[in-house]
Amino acid sequence: MILALDIGGTKLSAAWIEDGHCVARRQIAMQYNEAAFLTALHKLTRSDYPVEKVAVATTGYLRDGRVWSVNLNTIPFWKGFPLADVLTQRFNCPVIMLNDAQAAAWGEYLPRRSRIRNLLFITLSTGVGGGLICDGELRSGPHGLAGHIGHATVNVSPLDETESRCGCGRQGCLEHVASGTALARQATALLQQPLDSRQLFALAASNPQAEAILSNAARAVAQAIADTLMLVDIEEVVIGGSVGMADGMLLRIQQALNTFPPLFNLPVTSAAGGADTGLTGVADWAARR
């Protein structure tokens, strides 16, 4: 049995998978210091299932079994955290790890691979992540950074203020405009009340400022899609994450892309695997290894 874990900036999910079928699933809140994270991980994964392999999709980039944040505001203790060692000691079996968006890219490629061989997956979630399938292969890259589209810069500024930097240290990142965290920050500043991303979406139908924040974020995502198309050439873009799958976000991105010349247009679709696409992707990835 494979234990698949998806460690995101907001939630931790686990699925126990036998012959490709999910027999149990659990989810809890992510924790932002090492001790609380280890306690949560223990609670999440406690079970009597005979785990033979652990498959992990995690936010951050991976090197030698360790996890690092690109955006240290998301998970401050992800500074070479020895996740593979922690899980190997706990389960005493092989541990296979992928970045969360790379895992989801693989998960979304599986149902499409009879049709296409090049795909970009984008998650609009706590941050903005990305994964690339190039010529039928998942690209991870020599530094594990391939697909980290959230930290490519866009010529679209956030609507609150432009002086602040992304948690990666750079100015102008897509993540600083279009992540759930960035949407909440802009909504809170512009509408002058504490708002999260879900509340922003609910307000958008009646409040032009709320709609402007979402349309602006969609324009930023469309810019990043067009840049990726020009850089590596892709056939389809799949959008996931709670923000990406929220009401009307896909349509806003499609509309923004449609304002570009025809050369830059390509199909943009919603994640077939929904919120579980990272779990499914990494479980399949691990099953092949």
Residues that bind ligand ADP (CB under 6 A): 8-11, 125-126, 180-181, 196-198, 201, 241-243, 246
Which of the choices ligand BMX, ligand ADP, Zn ion, none does residue 243 contact, using the CB cut-off of 5 to 8 A by kind? ligand ADP
Cβ 125 to ligand ADP, closest distance in Å? 3
The H or E element containing residue 62 is strand 61-63
Q: Which is nearer to Zn ion, 33 or 164 (CB)?
A: 164
- The string of DSSP codes covering 252-286 is HHHHHHHTS-GGG---EEE-TTGGGHHHHHHHHHH
Q: Are 151 and 122 in contact (CB under 8 A)?
A: no
Range 184-189, long-range pairs (CB < 8 A, 24+ positions) = 185/158, 185/160, 186/158, 186/159, 186/160, 186/213, 187/213, 189/160, 189/161
Work out whether 240 is an interface residue with ligand BMX (CB under 6 A).
no
| Minimal distance, residue 75 CB to ligand ADP, in Å | 10
Binding mask 150-169 for ligand BMX (x = CB under 6 A): x-------------------
166 is an interface residue for Zn ion by CB under 5 A = yes
* 56, 70, 195, 200: which one binds ligand BMX (CB under 6 A): 70
Cβ contacts of residue 173 below 8 Å, gap of 6+? 150, 151, 152, 153, 154, 166
* Euclidean distance between CA atoms 251 and 244, whole angstroms: 10
Shortest distance, CB of residue 155 to ligand BMX, whole angstroms?
A: 19
Query: Looking at beta carbons only, is 197 or 228 nearer to ligand ADP?
Result: 197
Give which of Zn ion, ligand BMX, ligand ADP, none residue 129 binds (C-beta under 5 to 8 Å, depending on kind).
Answer: ligand BMX
d(CA 182, CA 288): 37
Q: Which does 11 bind (CB under 5 to 8 A by kind): Zn ion, ligand BMX, ligand ADP, none?
A: ligand ADP
CB 85 within 8 A of CB 106: no
173 binds, among ligand BMX, Zn ion, ligand ADP, none (CB under 5 to 8 A by kind): Zn ion
What's 173's DSSP letter? B
Q: CB-based contacts of 46: which residues, under 8 Å, 6+ apart?
A: none
Q: Is residue 71 a contact residue for ligand BMX (CB under 6 A)?
A: yes
Task: Give residues in contact with Zn ion (CB under 5 A).
Answer: 151, 166, 168, 170, 173
